[in-house]
């Protein structure tokens, strides 16, 4: 299956949106003699699939509608999160509400090269109740979309029974309604019961994926591929023929039979400030280009350019006023 020519593409991104704290200085520049109260942090909202949704909406033309599906609480932070998503012109009708939960929180720290590390507080995240309403499973929010995008983080935070039900629902939509499934493995070991469960579950989602957006580091960490060729052979066994393998500085590789590779050596050098959302923003650029009918190399270029723009700024999402 592939993107069809039509007047309006409807894209749904599914996942967990969180409160983000981004500190003002890299870790190595913090003066430990200064009272910590003097250090500032910027408060934003973010989350891997939300980052993609926002950048996809910003890059897309008027023929693309982007919606976001998550679960939030009824508290002030949850309300502000939904208002923020609305402010990015993203449809929020698929957002669910959990009465006794709130949104998760994470803090970003970066080193001198812009490489980041995270600290999370997400045990009571409402997103863990996604698709669970009144003790029943409810996937009605997934109907009537051309493309559904999610990540392994989306899947990892759900109970095992809901993961399996979500897999079955997406498989049905793909087969019966020609919905395209876009997936990014985004492997986070701490979110999984075990590596073997993560490997089995993520493999199952790759098998129903039409547009694959893996990162080589995540894939090799989880599947222990000995080299890039073994990784590519594994993806071929899933039946995937569209997407991009993100390979950091050496540039992305297309996953079609032609396997186009983007040569980044001739592109402008990027001033890396913060690598947060590098892969998420690449996904947005790639998907936006594909929706607009771009070639594989055109989509790889669009993804790389969007990521380069994002990692030159601090935080996952560049403020709209600076975009």
List residues with catalytic annotation.
280
Q: Parallel, antiparallel, or unpaired for β 244-245 and 253-254?
A: antiparallel
Given the structure tokens 């592109």, which residue do they identify? 267
Q: Parallel, antiparallel, or unpaired for β 244-245 and 136-137?
A: unpaired
The answer to whether the beta carbons of residues 309 and 268 sit under 8 Å apart is no
**Which of 232, 237, 149, 148 is CA-nearest to residue 185?**
149
Q: Parallel, antiparallel, or unpaired for β 136-137 and 147-151?
A: unpaired
Count the helices and strands in the chain (H runs, E runs): 9, 15
Alpha helices (runs of H) in the chain, residue ranges in sequence order: 48-59, 76-87, 152-156, 160-177, 195-206, 216-223, 228-237, 278-291, 296-311
**Which of 194, 201, 190, 126 is CA-nearest to residue 165?**
201
Neighbouring-strand partners of residue 65? 10
**Which of 244, 248, 246, 247 is CA-nearest to residue 260?**
244
DSSP letter for each residue of 100-127: T-B-EEEEEEE-TTS-EEEEEE-TTBGG
């Amino acid at each position: 299956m592939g993107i069809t020519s039509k007047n309006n593409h409807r894209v749904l991104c599914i996942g967990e949106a969180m409160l983000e704290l981004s500190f003002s200085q890299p870790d190595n520049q913090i003066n430990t003699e200064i009272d910590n109260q003097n250090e500032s942090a910027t408060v934003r909202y973010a989350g891997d699939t939300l980052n993609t949704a926002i950048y996809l909406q910003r890059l897309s033309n008027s023929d693309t509608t982007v919606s976001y599906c998550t679960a939030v609480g009824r508290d002030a932070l949850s309300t502000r999160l939904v208002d923020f998503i609305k402010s990015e012109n993203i449809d929020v009708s698929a957002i669910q509400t959990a009465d006794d939960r709130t949104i998760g929180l994470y803090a970003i720290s970066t080193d001198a090269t812009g490489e980041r590390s995270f600290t999370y507080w997400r045990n009571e995240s409402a997103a863990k109740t996604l698709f669970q309403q009144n003790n029943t499973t409810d996937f009605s929010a997934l109907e009537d979309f051309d493309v559904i995008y999610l990540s392994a983080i989306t899947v990892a935070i759900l109970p095992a029974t809901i993961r399996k039900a979500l897999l079955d629902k997406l498989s049905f939509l793909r087969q019966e309604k020609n919905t395209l499934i876009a997936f990014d493995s985004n492997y986070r070991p701490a979110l999984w019961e075990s590596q073997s469960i993560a490997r089995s579950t993520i493999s199952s989602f790759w098998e129903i994926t039409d547009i694959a957006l893996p990162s080589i580091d995540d894939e090799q960490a989880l599947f222990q591929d000995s080299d890039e060729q073994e990784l590519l052979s594994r993806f071929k066994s899933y039946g995937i023929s569209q997407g991009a393998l993100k390979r950091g500085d050496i540039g992305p590789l297309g996953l079609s039979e032609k396997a186009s590779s983007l040569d980044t050596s001739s592109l402008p050098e990027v001033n890396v400030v913060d690598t947060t959302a590098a892969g998420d923003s690449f996904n947005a650029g790639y998907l936006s280009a594909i929706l607009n009918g771009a070639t594989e190399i055109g989509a790889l270029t669009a993804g790389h350019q969007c990521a380069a723009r994002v990692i030159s700024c601090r935080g996952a999402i560049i403020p709209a006023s600076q975009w």
